[in-house]
Amino acid sequence: MNIIIVGCGRVGQTLAEKLNGDGNEVTVIDMSAAKVNEVVGKFDVMGVVGNGATPSTLHEAGITTADLFIAVTNSDELNLLCCMIAKKESECQTIARVKNPEYSTEAAYLKEELGLAMVINPEYAAAEEIARVLRFPSAIKIEPFAGGNVELIKFKLPVGSEIAGMSVKEVMMKHRLDVLVCTIERGEDAYIANGDFIFQEKDIVSIIASPKNAHDFFSAIHYKGHSIKNALIVGGGVITHYLCEILDRSNISLKIIERDMKVCEELAGLFPKTYVINGDAADKELLLEEGLATAGAFVALASLDEENILLSLFAQEAGDGKLVTKINHTDYDSVISRLDLDTTICPINITSDVILRYARSTRSSSGSNIETLYNIIPGKVEATEFIIKDNSPILNKPLSQLKFKENMLVASIYRDKKVIVPRGNDVIQTGDAVIIVSKKLGLRDVAEVLR
């Protein structure tokens, strides 16, 4: 595909890297020559310096032959204007990043009236992910599939875990639950699990199951979790706004610490049940006075990664609540993973996953459609949900008779509102939602799982 990206900030750079790595022809546009040159030099893509809302710049970037146009500048209004002009100048599909809460309720209207293929709101998606882990704090990460009827849940085996030293097969036979263990992270290594794989303490494990079966699994292995009744949040930005909105009717009471008095007043006016404190979270005494040591969860949503990391490390030392840390930069993932920060949230990765899914789905063959895409282990393992069509080559044969490539796992089948944990005798049918976990990145069609 020919793809044009307007905006060379962190989101634009991440998209350029991933979409180019996925085999697309990518051109970036930005007003800053330095930013354009940086992206072009890093990722071997084309670059144009100029205003992405002007027809002349768009034509220089090749808008007439573009298949997909993505506007991810820091201005919602500019992104929408870029997409409007791109639609007038070509027949390409358009995606706009829109993050302002004032527009969040109008996303469907904007999409329809402006003819957008997608309106992406990374901040709202990040808030949804935080809300999921606060509701189920045993997990490091929860990714929904099949409209939330199937979940991929990532968790860490604690020291002394009763399943450490047991194989996947032994655990499944002992508890006989409809749960599939799909990946294990151990240090720098990533594995797609088979029945003989032996669990070790501190492994990061991903399972796929229905929400109920996942809950039963954690109970069966005596995985210690606790329901969260209160959360202390640092930072009153857009993600915090959305998080308050999502959790407004939950049983979780929220307390926010924010430096800017105006932001405090806005949040207090919008969410009267939320306790908002005007103060500097860098003040350790303030954090302790506001109940850090007894908080069920600590959520670091300040603007700077460094501040979020340091605050989370202090919270880890001061209490034993669930930790959620927002990270904007992805360059130091391997370093951050060693800090044992529990759950980290990266809006940029959420955005790139959604747009990658859309780009791949438009290129998929007629045998299946990509419905959902997640990086389970970034750069190493992906989980892709396909909706199977009636001409797919994996139809109507027992899974045991299909010849799968190495490091491919059929992790779940969702059919007629039922979650099926795949066994050798199961057969995939037309209309099934099938989740494939793979070390081969960039799957565009379910047929690619076969040799």
For residues 203 and 167, the answer to whether their CB atoms sit within 8 Å is no
Which pLDDT score is estimated for 364? 57
Residues 113 and 194 in one domain: no
Residues 167 and 87 reside in one and the same domain: no
CATH code at position 423: 3.30.70.1450
Examine the domain organization and report whether 11 and 93 are in the same domain.
Answer: yes
Decide if 409 is inside a domain. yes
Q: Do 200 and 236 lie in a common domain?
A: no
User: Is the residue at 126 inside a domain?
Assistant: no
How far is Cα 342 from Cα 340, in angstroms, rounded to an integer?
Answer: 6
286 located within any domain: yes
The sheet carrying 253-258 orders its strands as: 275-278, 253-258, 230-234, 297-300, 322-326, 343-345
- 200 & 259 share domain: no
Greatest mean pLDDT among 294-308, 347-361, 392-406: 294-308
Residue 321 domain-assigned (yes or no): yes
Domain boundaries, position 206: 138-220
Confirm whether 270 is domain-assigned: yes
What letter represents residue 220's amino acid? A
Distance CA 31, CA 208 (A): 44
Q: Which of 220, 252, 273 is the last residue of a domain?
A: 220
Q: Are residues 329 and 239 in the same domain?
A: yes
Which residues have C-beta within 8 Å of that of residue 316, sequence separation ≥ 6?
Answer: 323, 340, 341, 342
Mean pLDDT of 353-371: 73
CA distances from 373 to 30, 41, 253, 411, 437 (A): 28, 28, 32, 13, 10
**24 pLDDT higher than 70:** yes
Total domains present in the chain: 4
Is 19 domain-assigned? yes
- Alpha helices by DSSP H, listed for 72-121, are 76-89, 101-104, 107-114
* Token pair listed for 328: 């904007």
Q: What is the mean pLDDT of the chain?
A: 90
CATH number of the CATH domain containing 45? 3.40.50.720
In a shared domain, residues 206 and 247? no
| Per-residue pLDDT reduced to its tens digit, 69-119 | 999 999 999 999 999 999 999 999 999 999 888 887 788 888 888 899 989
- Tell which of 158, 191, 220 closes a domain: 220
Which H or E element spans position 419?
Answer: strand 418-420
Q: Is residue 76 part of a domain?
A: yes
Domain termination site, one of 304, 325, 345: 345
- For residues 366 and 341, membership in a common domain is answered with no
Specify the pLDDT at position 110.
86
Q: Which of 100-104, 254-258, 276-280 has the lowest mean pLDDT?
A: 100-104
**Number of neighbours of residue 285 by Cβ within 10 angstroms:** 7
**257 shares its domain with 289:** yes
For residue 250, what is the DSSP state?
A: S
Look at residue 420 and tell me if it is in a domain.
Answer: yes
Same domain flag for 113 and 150:
no
